[in-house]
Amino acid sequence: MTPLEKVEALYEELVVSYGDGRQREIRAASKLLLIALFELKEHDNRGWQDLVEDHVRMLRDEPERYRRLIDANRGRTKGLGLEDADLQDFVA
Tens of pLDDT, residues 55-82: 999 999 999 999 999 999 988 654 445 4
pTM, two decimals, is 0.75
Quick one: pLDDT at residue 75?
A: 83
Domain boundaries, the chain: 1-43, 45-92
Give the C-alpha separation, 85 to 89, whole Å.
8
Residues 30-41: tens digit of each pLDDT: 999 999 999 999
Amino acid (one-letter) located at 6: K
Between CA 66 and CA 59 the distance in angstroms is 6
Task: Count the Cβ atoms, other than its own, within 10 Å of residue 59.
Answer: 14
